[in-house]
Structure 1
């Protein structure tokens, strides 16, 4: 058994006059109901051991799942939980439990789990061990119900995905007057895409940068699917070949269909003729990307 200072978080059960309980005619005593993990439970104490389970000369402790109404449990139900049962050591001020309690399965034919030989009676009653002081003891329980995962997904990686690319030549760029412009839809892989540019920037790039994004046409995405993409967006330097670009890995989905850079190219650099981003007042933007895999909900 291993001790800790922190008490069990779901049930503490103190018994006073333990010697009288052990001499009483009842085989076991069951606590009032308590809640843990959305279920109701009780704790059963066998003060002289559960003799039917070879627990004689020990204290036996059991956890019971309360199934008061069949309507509250669906057909074929089961509850899986990590269970720990505790006894308090008054001298060391620690709660002791078995380290290997582990995960337990409760179902229609098995609504109880416990330890017939939870603690030896002679060991328990000896004053130097601190479990029974002033004829009082404290037992406890922690139950952590393991529920089905709220989210289940499967990632399928594509072997040797092809490099996909699109070039967008934007003429009369310096005279662009709208907040944003969209390229024509283009097919790449099994999906439709487009580039979106904000010539005067957006958000933190507004008024100081060119913002460029790749967006997927959401009707082309299969239901409950995310497209995992590695992308390189760039604005080309048409004189020196010193392009400005941003790279990213991203899931594209119906609810998250656009990604790029809000501050891809400073406007000062764009407007500098020596930099070559505007050549004949045309700007060339490119997207190179690979669809690396598909993430599907199960």
Structure 2
């Protein structure tokens, strides 16, 4: 079992055939590059290049950045232009960095990156890796990084992820102010219509109705009571929008006990605005146990939770 203090490296190294997409620095004489950096704080700074809407520079330390534990290595960094930060709407930029060193022997690029995106801002304009390759391994021609005399190539890919614009926030309202709705269907035995609709009631920022089929809906043989919880006609759902309703339905026994109970836990969407039971109770059971002295069928639904979702973009 690993220690709780174990540090997991985020450095990823691999070979790649295609060149860097952001910037390439090809050097004709590596030894002269080394000499030139003695008067520029041991580093070479490239020209500005653009990526992700910002301007950057590639920085190479041919003999390592000694101030950053890079002695004995090739060190590589990326610097964001300060003007890019001050002219941008946001004052910080996240970027993913991949550094490249070409290898002639392999005819591929050695790449190394820290898998974590880096945050550039006014206080931190430079990010990179102090130990890209050991200097001794890089400088030996037989290893392929220095070739055809004293040539070499460095590069970088700077990827700026697009700002987050697509999101959703899913909430479940479990503290409904008045979670119950009761419906008394009068003179049940004399009902003639195929379907009856309750009054509209509000629950969880939505409006609902109950649909009751006193002789069953079209999918049953007329010996059953069918009942459905449906979003009211005034509720229109957007494409791919959905609402969860969790509720207990009771068909009340007039003696005050042995109520018939059914649970609903369903998502309502633009393709199916209602859920329920086409065989809730047999009509024989309804007549035997659930009609009161005035021939009324009393139904009660109590909600446990109703979901709501905020999202962007609205489609």
Are the structure 2 counterparts of residues 72 and 175 from structure 1 closer, same or farther at C-alpha, using a change threshold of 3 Å? farther
User: Within the alignment, does 1:276 sit opposite 2:290 as a pair?
Assistant: no
Aligned counterpart, 2:193: 176
8 Å Cα contact 1:80/1:147 also seen in 2: no
Aligned counterpart, 1:264: 277
Are the structure 2 counterparts of residues 23 and 286 from structure 1 closer, same or farther at C-alpha, using a change threshold of 3 Å? same
**TM superposition shift of 1:157:** 8.3
User: Within the alignment, does 1:286 sit opposite 2:300 as a pair?
Assistant: yes
| TM-score relative to the length of structure 2 | 0.58
8 Å Cα contact 2:168/2:309 also seen in 1: no
**Partner deviation per Cα, 1:45-71 (whole Å, 9 max, x = no partner):** 435246684656543322122344666
Are the structure 2 counterparts of residues 95 and 118 from structure 1 closer, same or farther at C-alpha, using a change threshold of 3 Å? closer
8 Å Cα contact 1:84/1:97 also seen in 2: yes
Q: 2:155 aligns with which of 136, 139, 149?
A: 139
Structure 1, unpaired ranges of 5+: 219-226
Aligned counterpart, 2:7: none
User: Within the alignment, does 1:4 sit opposite 2:14 as a pair?
Assistant: yes
Structure 2, unpaired ranges of 5+: 1-10, 38-42, 221-225, 235-242
Q: 2:79 aligns with which of 64, 71, 74?
A: 64
CA distance in 2, matches of 1:28, 1:78: 25
Higher alpha-carbon deviation: 50-59 or 119-128: 50-59
Aligned CA RMSD, in angstroms, stands at: 5.3
Give the 5 Å matches for 1:140-289: 140-145=156-161, 147=163, 151=167, 164-171=179-186, 174-176=191-193, 181-183=197-199, 185=201, 194-197=208-211, 199=213, 207-208=218-219, 210=226, 212-213=228-229, 230-233=246-249, 243=260, 245-248=262-265, 260-261=274-275, 264-266=277-279, 273-276=283-286, 283-289=297-303
| TM-score relative to the length of structure 1 | 0.60
Are the structure 2 counterparts of residues 243 and 166 from structure 1 closer, same or farther at C-alpha, using a change threshold of 3 Å? same
Aligned residues: 272
Are the structure 2 counterparts of residues 152 and 167 from structure 1 closer, same or farther at C-alpha, using a change threshold of 3 Å? closer
Aligned counterpart, 1:222: none
**TM superposition shift of 1:80:** 3.3
SS at match of 2:302: strand
